[in-house]
């Protein structure tokens, strides 16, 4: 069962970013499935690393366009990205050091953050990006 499913409600009307959001959701679902299947630490670690790396890549894409189009909420949006990357990085370190395991609470945090961030914060840049020619 998917932790989160893509829907039009999550679309920001920019194909490149929607595709990246779909990939993030897929990676989160893969991590959730691996956790539920009680896969070994190495498999979980690899999936978690892929999710963390792709999140950074995705945030860089959004931030590149925000800067290019002089998006007025750039600093606030970037601060949210930075806080999320730090939280995931801290979690990775704890997990790799065997001080923390994957839990449904963590998966719910990831799901809720991503879903809420896309539906509220990301939707705010949608008009700016579309007006500047992104489709």
Q: Which helix (H) or strand (E) holds 72?
A: none
Residue 41 placed within a domain: yes
Residue 5 placed within a domain: no
Per-residue confidence of the chain (135 residues) as pLDDT tens digits? 789 999 999 999 999 999 999 999 999 999 899 888 888 788 888 888 999 999 999 999 999 999 999 999 999 999 999 999 998 898 888 888 887 777 877 888 899 999 999 999 999 999 999 999 999
> By residue range, what is the domain housing residue 113?
10-131
Residue ranges of alpha helices (H) inside 15-73 are 15-36, 41-68
Q: What is the pLDDT of residue 93?
A: 86
Residue 76 placed within a domain: yes
Residue 2 placed within a domain: no
Q: What is the pLDDT of residue 76?
A: 97
Helix 41-68 crosses helix 15-36 at what angle (to 10 degrees)? 160
Q: What is the pLDDT of residue 56?
A: 96
Q: What is the pLDDT of residue 36?
A: 87
- What's the token pair of residue 123? 């939707």
Q: What is the pLDDT of residue 20?
A: 98
Cα torsion 105, 111, 113, 114 to 10°: value is 160
Q: What is the pLDDT of residue 47?
A: 86
Count of structural domains, the chain: 1
Q: What is the pLDDT of residue 58?
A: 97
Residue 3 placed within a domain: no
CATH at 52: 1.20.120.50
Residue 4 placed within a domain: no
Single pTM value for the model: 0.93
């Amino acid at each position: 069962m998917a932790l989160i499913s893509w829907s039009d409600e999550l679309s920001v009307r920019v194909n490149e970013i929607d595709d990246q959001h779909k990939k993030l959701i897929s990676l989160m679902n893969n991590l959730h499935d691996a956790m539920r299947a009680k896969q070994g630490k190495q498999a979980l670690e690899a999936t978690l690393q892929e999710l963390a790396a792709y999140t950074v890549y995705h945030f860089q894409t959004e931030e590149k366009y925000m800067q290019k189009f002089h998006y007025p909420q750039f600093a606030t949006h970037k601060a949210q990205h930075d806080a999320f990357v730090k939280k995931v990085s801290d979690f990775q370190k704890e997990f790799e050091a065997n001080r923390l395991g994957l839990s449904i609470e963590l998966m719910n945090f990831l799901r809720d953050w991503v879903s809420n961030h896309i539906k509220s914060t990301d939707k705010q840049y949608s008009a700016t990006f579309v007006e500047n020619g992104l489709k």
